[in-house]
């Protein structure tokens, strides 16, 4: 093979299984690619060369003994919000700059059991709070398609690394669109599973009722492969659904004739870029040509989703981030007069501006006299949004629409306007509030050759139909532009 980094996860797996290439060769190719390309993209916070090669050697032993699975030897990047024992986990924050977890997240245990190879930890918005990966305490990440633009967020490093071919696949987390939005902006496939489908044990919490781990990959088959490895019930996570992993890859094939695709008019309103709308409409035409039946559905409470999210998520963040006080672990201010001064200085110096903004919003929403007016009301509206989806799924199997209102915007373009930044997640946030699964699959490019994503959403635990529709669309869509060379 001329360049092993051009292979998909499925192609890499097949060659490894046939022993035509070794896991160490694959790992070395990706490590060399990181060295050549990542100084421009900056997708990684740290690269674990020695660990990666050690894991690759172990994968080769498995391959030689016939104990290998489809992910054995697969070089994967991990968002730096997921704990790996003995590997720094910073969450893109100075607060955890030197934190080394003493245990593995459940998804990490599963990937280790599958024989995957970990290349390093990927950059992100601090504590997963952001839509552009400009909020990382260490450095921004740049979009491989155009280095002057954002890759999306908060899993911007995870999406950019897949697009830049500095890992074959990656894990991200999605609280309000943080997998699907960067997947759309970077031209990769990204899935947020049903809430509870994938264990959150070892995922550093932002908003516990919304967070979910999911894969970012080059194509839909790769996404299904990674989903099979990370799903399943986990007694260590009280929110983990009592369902085992399903054979997602075996359900990809077969026609989609008669599948009803709901098109919500609320997702084609003011603020949607004309080029994004055109690409999504072409995708809908493709689905119709495949035999899907398009039906109009209503999601009337969509307009309240962003406001609802920015009460619930910051409220949960305010509670979750109270543990970072300079006492237990993590950053502690160097000079202080007493305990209260240490708390104040530690949290002032350790957190970035966006994290502090959301902690203050959340603390206010939970405070005495305001809880009923804000948090309780937001929880009630959240129920209405969930009911919107349930009613829509009585008429259709899958809902289709845009992932984001625009393609990737310029670095710094929205940094001084938090509201405009928040509105970039208007189509993804409702999916998290409802807890249903959503997926972004590339459906075209705009005039600047920037990718556009089609968002597909299905009912609870119907990732199988979501992946099947996406897989059939991907094959019918035809090839996207070649992967970028940053």
Residues annotated as catalytic are 79, 154, 178
- The sign one gets for the Cα dihedral 370, 373, 378, 380 is positive
CB 146 within 8 A of CB 407: no
**Sheet strands side by side (includes 169-174):** 44-47, 117-122, 75-79, 169-174, 212-217, 189-192, 438-445, 451-458, 398-402, 260-264, 293-297
Distance CA 165, CA 105 (A): 25
Phi and psi at residue 89, to the nearest 5°:
-130, 105
Phi and psi at residue 298, to the nearest 5°:
-120, 135
Looking up tokens 């694959």 gives: 26
For 15, counting Cβ atoms within 10 Å of its Cβ (0-12 exposed, 13-18 middle, 19+ buried), the class is middle
Vertex 212: Cα angle to 207 and 216 (nearest 5): 130
Looking up tokens 């670095």 gives: 411
Longest dimension (CA), the chain: 70
Distance CA 486, CA 484 (A): 6
Looking up tokens 């990666």 gives: 52
Vertex 344: Cα angle to 340 and 348 (nearest 5): 170
Which of 185-209 are b and which e, b meaning 16 or more Cβ less than 10 Å from the residue's Cβ? bbbbbbbbbbbbbbbbbbbbbbbbb
Among residues 480, 464, 450, 462, which one has the least CA distance to residue 390?
A: 462
């Amino acid at each position: 093979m001329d360049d092993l980094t051009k292979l998909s996860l499925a192609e890499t797996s097949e060659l490894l299984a046939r022993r035509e290439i070794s896991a160490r060769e694959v790992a070395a190719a990706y490590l060399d690619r990181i060295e050549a390309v990542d100084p421009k993209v900056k997708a990684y916070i740290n690269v674990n060369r020695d660990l990666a090669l050690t894991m690759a050697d172990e994968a080769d032993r498995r391959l030689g003994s016939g104990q290998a699975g489809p992910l054995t030897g697969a070089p994967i990047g991990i968002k730096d919000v997921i704990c790996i024992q003995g590997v720094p986990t910073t969450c893109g924050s100075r607060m955890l700059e030197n934190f080394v977890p003493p245990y593995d997240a459940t998804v990490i245990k599963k990937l280790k059991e599958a024989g995957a190879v970990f290349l390093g930890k990927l950059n992100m918005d601090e504590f997963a709070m952001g839509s552009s990966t400009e909020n990382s305490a260490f450095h921004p990440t740049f979009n491989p398609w155009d280095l002057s633009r954002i890759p999306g967020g908060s899993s911007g490093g995870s999406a950019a690394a897949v697009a830049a071919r500095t890992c074959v696949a990656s894990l991200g987390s999605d609280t309000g669109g943080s997998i699907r939005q960067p997947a759309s902006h970077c031209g990769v496939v990204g899935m947020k599973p049903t809430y509870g489908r994938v264990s959150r044990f070892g995922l550093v919490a932002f908003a516990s009722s919304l967070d979910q781990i999911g894969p970012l990959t080059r194509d839909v088959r790769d996404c299904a492969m990674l989903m099979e490895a990370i799903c399943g019930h986990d007694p260590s996570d009280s929110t983990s659904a009592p369902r085992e992993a399903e054979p997602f890859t075996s359900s990809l094939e077969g026609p989609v004739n008669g599948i009803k695709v709901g098109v919500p008019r609320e997702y084609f309103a003011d603020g949607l870029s004309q080029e994004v709308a055109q690409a999504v409409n072409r995708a809908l035409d493709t689905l119709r040509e495949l035999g899907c039946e398009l039906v109009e559905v209503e999601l009337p409470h969509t307009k309240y989703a962003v406001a609802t999210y920015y009460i619930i998520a910051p409220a949960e963040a305010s509670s979750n981030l109270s543990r970072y006080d300079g006492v237990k672990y993590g950053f502690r201010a160097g000079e202080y007069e007493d305990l209260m001064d240490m708390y104040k200085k530690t949290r002032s110096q350790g957190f970035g501006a966006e994290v502090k903004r959301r902690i203050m919003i959340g603390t206010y929403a939970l405070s005495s006299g305001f809880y009923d007016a804000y948090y309780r009301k937001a929880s009630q509206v959240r129920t209405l949004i969930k009911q919107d989806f349930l009613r829509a799924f009585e008429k259709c199997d899958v809902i289709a629409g845009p992932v984001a209102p625009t393609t990737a915007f310029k670095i710094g373009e929205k940094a001084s306007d938090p509201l405009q930044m928040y509105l970039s997640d208007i189509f993804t946030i409702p999916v998290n509030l409802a807890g249903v699964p959503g997926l972004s699959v590339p459906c075209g490019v705009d005039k600047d050759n920037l990718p556009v994503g089609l968002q597909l959403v299905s009912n609870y635990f119907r990732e199988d139909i979501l992946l099947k529709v996406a897989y059939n669309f991907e094959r019918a869509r035809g090839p996207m532009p070649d992967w970028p060379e940053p």
